[in-house]
Amino acid sequence: MMRVIIIGAGKLGYKLAESFAQGNRDVIVIDIVQQALDRINDTLDVLTIKANGVQLDALRQLNIKSTDLILAVTSSDETNMLIGSIGKKLGCEKAVARIRNPEYENQLGFIKKEMGIDYIVNPELSTAKEIAKYLLKGHAVHMEDFAMGKVSMVDFRVESLEGIAGEKIKDLEIPESMLIVAISRSGQVIIPYGDTEIQSSDIIYVMGKKESINKFSAACGAPIKRKTVKTVLILGGGKAGYHLAKKLCQHGVSVKLIERNKERCKYLADELTGVLVIHGDGTDVNILTDENISEMDALISVTGYDEENLLLALLGKQHGVDKVIAKVSRPNYVPIIEKLGIDLAVNPVLITASEILRFIQGGRVVSISLLLGGKAEVIEIIAEGDSKIVGKRLAEQDLPRGIIIGSIVHKGKLIIPNGDSIINPGDRVVVFCLQSEESSLYKFFHKGKGGLLDELWDSIKGARKSTSI
């Protein structure tokens, strides 16, 4: 059984505990705040301990030597570095630390090497990269690429598509190389089938070839257009705003950044060459009007408050901004986001959890995207010869309803599978999976009672034992 210790029971710690608790894993969460631990106790089947994760005695009592993974995600970068280093020195197999301060950005390689930390995550930097990728692609919709660009996943608001609302999926003219893999309805995920009727308020998730998706959207009166983003207004000069402004400026985008803290403005102006930093309150309509909000190609709200980000994004839409993006950390805001018509809502917690899960799962899992507040995920897996799912028709696999094989890339050729499709060793398989079925998914993609994570860690531990003999 894989053993995981998570130190820090904040939003990221909670999400990681929730993800690792899906399956046969021993999960321990440590924090000094009892209230945070109580929240985890009320909802998750994990062990919680009130203690200081930096203390050697606390880690030794938890038998750190037999622990496969320690995740240091407290609110302090320095504490996380120390925990990761101590954990490794006490015999833990892998250590992951969250380090957020931009001043450490150029020292991460040194920190990893000297302190023995295996992987470092920076939620704000990862969030900035996600937003920049979306803006620089220039698509009118949110598009994710998988299988080295051969497979795309796009979400469409049904209200923007003609002739879809009120129709059953089996009655739609869907191109062969495309599949509707999920529907988001009032914050709930629906795995569709032929008789599922699409409603005007739905968001549909489609997967397949870009050409097929383009053909589908064009036939529905909403062709996917590309528009170069040249001017961007960022509201909020925190770590995410800093990283985003820096990245966009490096790509030749004209960036204005509004921050209400005067001292922070001075720091940003010194550090961000080429970015116009404005001292002011982003919620003040007069300031937004003065800065020509209606002429901006994109508005991104990354303040420290979800409600403020949603309000400012909505304000941007009312002023005719083509693309509005909001940073939102609370999963329960998903239904609100859908109704407001915001183009993209980014969740630093989900983005960071995806990164950590991908690292832990090694080269077998190429990418993971957590969707809909973490209720579902899209996973790209390279099938291995001993996988349970290899060599048999999908119709014979008895896959749970919450798992959809969206595409198979076999010898460079994209296949949108049906019941007769067979997965072969080495195929890249893109899967849509409900979080509740995550443990079942890995049993199909790796032989044995445990999931992919457990098999991976068993092989690592076996290699270590053979080396030490």
Asked if the structure places residue 238 within a domain, the reply is yes
- 2 φ, ψ to 5°? -70, 135
The encoded tokens of residue 449 equal 């009672």
- Full domain range(s) for residue 155: 139-219
Question: Would you say residue 450 has pLDDT above 60?
Answer: no
Asked whether residue 237 is assigned to any structural domain, the reply reads yes
Kindly report, residue by residue over 385-430, the tens digit of the pLDDT.
888 899 989 999 888 888 999 999 999 898 989 889 999 999 999 9
Distances 245 to 130, 231, 233, 325, 331 between C-alpha atoms, Å? 13, 11, 9, 14, 26
Q: What is d(CA 345, CA 306) in angstroms, rounded to the nearest whole number?
A: 10
Is 264 contained in some domain? yes
Q: Are residues 158 and 235 in the same domain?
A: no
Whether pLDDT at 329 is above 70: yes
Kindly indicate the confidence band of residue 17, based on its pLDDT and cuts at 50, 70 and 90. Answer: very high
| Residue at 365 is within a domain | no
Q: Is residue 213, in this structure, part of any structural domain at all? A: yes
Residue for token pair 């505990």: 17
**Calculated CA dihedral for residues 353, 143, 335, 216, nearest 10 degrees:** -150
> What is the number of residues in the chain?
469
Q: Which residues on adjacent β-strands are paired with residue 377?
A: 370, 433
231 and 310 housed in the same domain: yes
User: pTM of the prediction?
Assistant: 0.80
Asked, for residue 400, whether it belongs to a domain, the answer is: yes
Q: Answer yes or no: are the C-beta atoms of 415 and 421 closer than 8 Å.
A: yes
Place of tokens 């938890």: 62
Query: Which pLDDT does position 468 carry in this prediction?
Result: 35
Q: Which residues contact 55 (CB under 8 A, 6 or more apart)?
A: none
pLDDT top residue among 443 and 44? 44
pLDDT of residue 456: 43
Domain end among 350, 372, 400: 350
Q: Which residue has the higher pLDDT, 222 or 269?
A: 269
> For residue 119, how far is the Cα from the chain centroid?
17
Q: Which of 314, 254, 260, 320 is nearest to 287 (CA)?
A: 260
Same domain? 210 vs 233: no
Between CA 109 and CA 345 the distance in angstroms is 31
Most confident of 220-234, 264-278, 440-454: 264-278
- CB-based burial of residue 231 (10 Å sphere; 0-12 exposed, 13-18 middle, 19+ buried)? middle
Question: How many domains does the structure of the chain reveal?
Answer: 4
Residues 170 and 241 in one domain: no
Q: Is residue 292 part of a domain?
A: yes
Residue 415 lies in a domain: yes
- Return the structure tokens found at 193: 């089938």
> pLDDT grade, residue 139 (50/70/90)?
low
Other Cβ atoms less than 10 A from the Cβ of 50: the count is: 14
Task: Output the domain CATH number for residue 445.
Answer: 3.30.70.1450
Per residue in 52-68, pLDDT (tens digit) is 989 888 888 888 888 99
The helix or strand, by DSSP H or E, that contains position 445, with its residue range, turns out to be helix 438-445
Please give the Cα distance from 128 to 105 (Å, whole number): 14
**Tens of pLDDT, residues 148-180:** 888 888 888 898 899 999 999 999 989 888 999
- What pLDDT does residue 453 have? 46
Here the CATH number for the domain that contains residue 76 is 3.40.50.720
CA distance 405 to 417: 7
Whole-angstrom distance, CA of residue 297 vs CA of residue 301 = 14
Among 219, 245, 260, the domain-final residue is 219
336 and 432 co-located in one domain: no
pLDDT: is 455 or 362 the higher one? 362
In this structure, the answer to whether residues 205 and 305 fall within a common structural domain is no
H/E run at residue 151: strand 151-157
What pLDDT was estimated at residue 241? 96
What's the pLDDT at 28?
95
Higher-confidence residue of 302 and 340: namely 302
Choosing from 325, 350, 375, the residue where a domain stops is 350
Residue 362 pLDDT: 65
Domain identity same for 104 and 23: yes
In percent, how much of the chain has pLDDT > 70? 92
Average pLDDT over the chain reads 87
pLDDT digits (tens, 9 = 90+) for 251-299: 999 999 999 999 999 999 999 999 999 999 988 999 999 999 999 999 9
